[in-house]
Structure 1
Amino acid sequence: MADRSIIDNGGTRRSMNLPSELYEGREQTYIKHTFLRRYLEALAVKVLMGGFTTFNYVDGFAGPWNTIDNEGCSDSSFGLAVELLEQVRRYVEEQRPGRKLKVRFCLCEKEPGSVQRLREFAKRHPAIEIHVFDGEFENNLDEIAQRIPDGFTFTFIDPTNWVVRITEVGRFLNARTGEFLFNFMTEEVSRHSVNPKVAHQFGDFVGDSNWQETVKLLPEGMKGELRVLHLLKDAFRKCGSAKFLPDFSILKPLINREKMRLMLGTNNPKGVKLFRDIHEKVEKEEFEKRRQAKAADTSQDMLFSDADFAQYEQGERGIGCKRYREVTEEIIVDALSKRQEIDFDDLALEVMERMPMRETHVKDVCVSMRTRGLIRYSLPPKAKKPKPGTMISAGGSKTPP
């Protein structure tokens, strides 16, 4: 499956691939960058077509790390962001004659060698506003804020571990109009969260110095790293950084073990819907990449095509699968036990934030529950699926399929 890009260097719509050959042995990074590219593109087009004339991209842990394209940095997060957002700017200006747009880039890194590479990259693009910051992200927040006094800001937070001072970062995000994408390093968190020697650093990470006691209040069956993720989301909400924080996991290529989770922070319900729509597309590509990695590792011929395998895997355990639909039913029943009726929009938003489900999946679940008499709602003749404004309530007689 190709990574789809709507914009080329001249501002014309076309298809485009991320350079797969630059990601050999880095399949998780390929999936992460594919999601970043697709979401950032869709977001930037909507933002710049709308009321904003300035788009800021902030990369708090820019690297570059383990890149193959050492000069162009096309396989780094900031490299693909610079190329993409400049394409978006030209495209929107072409579509909106007379509209003058600005894109700014703030790239932060603490490793001296990588900082030097960032500065060299900026020098190679003198026509683009690129600011490089040397040192820890948290120590540069005030200076970064001075460089982006207005506009819409997208912040990418992609640490190589879990050493992030969330309260400081949260205040920075709260002061901006925008969204953020956070890479939660599941494997690192799982390994170190039980280490008493770094307990104080995890307190900084979840914004709670008493986190070891707080975490005991969460359900016993919840995995340790998911408990930390729960506290992290609470910290962002308390800072006012985001109302909605959906996430999805990225697995290691050869084993069914979670490597990382990408978490969106947004105050816009449309951001949650877009997140899940792109999640579905990227997840299929992840299944394909994992299939290819396994085939290369075992040298075995595979009976089905990568695309067929990905479609099957997604149906079995991916977004919108049977297990997630069953949990969605539980969420709906619980929500209706607390309120007499709920607008479908609000219900779908609650589900999509918590579960790997698209809006269309939630509609299908509602149809099934209505048919079985578990919920009720009124629709025009011949219509079956709820829509925005449809009020959902509990109970009711069975509806013929």
Structure 2
Amino acid sequence: MSNIYQGREQTEAKHFILRRYLQTLAFKTLHGGWTLAYIDGFSGPWQSRTPDHSDSSFMIAVQVLKEAQLKVRASGKKPRIKCFFSEENRDSYAQLQAAVAPHHDPANGFFIETFKGKFENAVGPIQKTMGGSFALTFIDPTGWTGYEFGKVRPIFEHAPGEVLLNFMYDFVSRFAASSDPITLASFDGILGANWKDRLDKKLPREEALMALFTEQFWRAGKFEYVLSTPIEKISERTHFHIVYGTRNSKGLEAYRQVEYDALKDHGMRRAAAREVIRENKTGQSDLFGAAGAASVAEVSMEAQIATIKLQAKDWLRQQLPSCPKPFSEIWPMMLHNFMLRKTDAKDICAELGKSGELKETWRMNGSRRQKPDDADQIERA
């Protein structure tokens, strides 16, 4: 475990997702000839433990984007990147500005703009930065205010573009139980008017709140796909959800892979951290220690995925009456509904093919392929 994240493993998971997804997105967009705009709505820094703020989202983004630009430039292209960092707190803004200023390099197509003030008040300048670009907006607030969907809608609606948002579920859940009218009204901007009356009482509280939030998020951005990744503390309690919105199936595919990698890594780190805490409390070491606990967590993750695949297999069986459909239409629906990767969707179709429930269209005409590709038809046997 890296010392800078000790005791805040959930932050490490969040940064894992940001770093990995931004790497994937940057290479695809820059190689494709797009200018890439990166928008950071609540930049901080907050609780940074490094002198250069390398454990803050804005410096992680700068590092990833500069590396990607350098590699793409080596292929003969001239990639352009625009960054926009917004921060309201005066002291944090001063640190932010000092940290990113040396990386502003217009001569080499790397632009950085900073904004001191509320993210909601930066919509106009952000739209100018986004113009003509593929945009990724990252919103990482310390609470639940400052990004009312009605106010930031133009940023969400930018196309082509995607949004990653840290929904602070733990805080929201606690304060949403308040009886104070002012506190309850403060959630209207992200949960919608009369949200408490619209909360589905038949669902567990976390599911009900997330259902309201993702619906409002989806409406604000007119996204094709909205995913939610729960990130837990060392305890088994959800701390926050990373909510992702995209209109592109390729983005959906890339995010599900990053999500899988992040949750696997986070689970092992949480297990190792719990074992260290146990050893410190009891003074007794387990035979395999933190490494053994992490290994058990990895097995648990794979068991969870196996269960989800069974659910997805039943879902696909229900889709078969409306088939045939190309695999290119099946896998995005499956990934949207289940925490699975495209490779898992292929496995499910292959298994149903072997059991005789699907025609193994991918093996026709002498093909030796074991799994379907996008063009293969998925149809009942």
Per-residue CA deviations over 1:107-158 (Å, capped at 9, x if unaligned) read 1112222112122223444535322212221121112222332222111011
Pairing 1:61–2:42 present = yes
Aligned to 1:323, what secondary structure does the other structure show? Answer: helix
**Structure 2 counterpart of 1:11:** none
How far apart are the structure 1 equivalents of 2:334 and 2:294? 24
**Structure 1 counterpart of 2:215:** 234
Report the CA distance between 1:303 and its aligned residue.
4.0
Q: Which structure: greater helix fraction?
A: 2
Q: Which amino acid is 1:336 matched to?
A: L
Report the CA distance between 1:378 and its aligned residue.
2.6
Maintained 8 Å contact 1:284/1:310: no
Deviates more, 1:108-117 or 1:143-152: 143-152
Equivalent of 2:243, from 255, 263, 274?
Answer: 263
**Structure 2 counterpart of 1:6:** none
How far apart are the structure 2 equivalents of 1:319 and 1:50? 38
Per-residue CA deviations over 1:217-243 (Å, capped at 9, x if unaligned) read xx82x3223222222222233234421
Pairing 1:183–2:166 present = yes
Maintained 8 Å contact 1:167/1:235: no
Q: CA, structure 1 residues 345+64, in 2 after alignment: closer, same or farther (shift >3 Å)?
A: same
Report the CA distance between 1:265 and its aligned residue.
1.3
How far apart are the structure 1 equivalents of 2:25 and 2:289? 32
Report the CA distance between 1:204 and its aligned residue.
0.9
How far apart are the structure 2 equivalents of 1:319 and 1:90? 40
**Structure 2 counterpart of 1:138:** 120
Aligned to 1:55, what secondary structure does the other structure show? Answer: strand
The 5 A counterparts of 1:229-308 are: 229-253=210-234, 255-299=235-279, 300-304=284-288
Maintained 8 Å contact 2:272/2:294: no
Q: Which amino acid is 1:354 matched to?
A: N
Pairing 1:105–2:83 present = yes
**Structure 2 counterpart of 1:86:** 66
Per-residue CA deviations over 1:296-335 (Å, capped at 9, x if unaligned) read 2122534447666545434434586222112212322333
Maintained 8 Å contact 1:105/1:129: yes
How far apart are the structure 2 equivalents of 1:311 and 1:352? 26
Maintained 8 Å contact 2:143/2:171: yes
Q: Which amino acid is 1:114 matched to?
A: S
Q: Which amino acid is 2:55 matched to?
A: D
Pairing 1:29–2:20 present = no
Aligned to 1:65, what secondary structure does the other structure show? Answer: coil
The gaps in structure 2 that reach 5 residues or longer are none
Equivalent of 1:169, from 126, 131, 152?
Answer: 152
Q: Which amino acid is 1:251 matched to?
A: E
**Structure 2 counterpart of 1:76:** 56
**Structure 2 counterpart of 1:121:** 99
Equivalent of 1:194, from 177, 187, 201?
Answer: 177
Maintained 8 Å contact 1:319/1:358: no
Question: How many residues matched?
Answer: 367
Aligned to 1:31, what secondary structure does the other structure show? Answer: helix
How far apart are the structure 1 equivalents of 2:271 and 2:33? 43
**Structure 2 counterpart of 1:51:** 33
Q: CA, structure 1 residues 100+321, in 2 after alignment: closer, same or farther (shift >3 Å)?
A: closer
Maintained 8 Å contact 1:182/1:263: yes
How far apart are the structure 2 equivalents of 1:82 and 1:296? 33
Aligned to 1:28, what secondary structure does the other structure show? Answer: helix
**Structure 1 counterpart of 2:306:** 322
The 5 A counterparts of 1:145-164 are: 145-163=127-145, 164=147
Under a length normalisation based on structure 2, what TM-score does the superposition of the two structures give?
Answer: 0.87
How far apart are the structure 1 equivalents of 2:342 and 2:49? 38
Report the CA distance between 1:199 and its aligned residue.
2.7
Q: CA, structure 1 residues 347+151, in 2 after alignment: closer, same or farther (shift >3 Å)?
A: same
Q: CA, structure 1 residues 202+273, in 2 after alignment: closer, same or farther (shift >3 Å)?
A: same
Q: CA RMSD in A?
A: 2.5
Pairing 1:392–2:378 present = yes
Q: Which amino acid is 2:187 matched to?
A: F
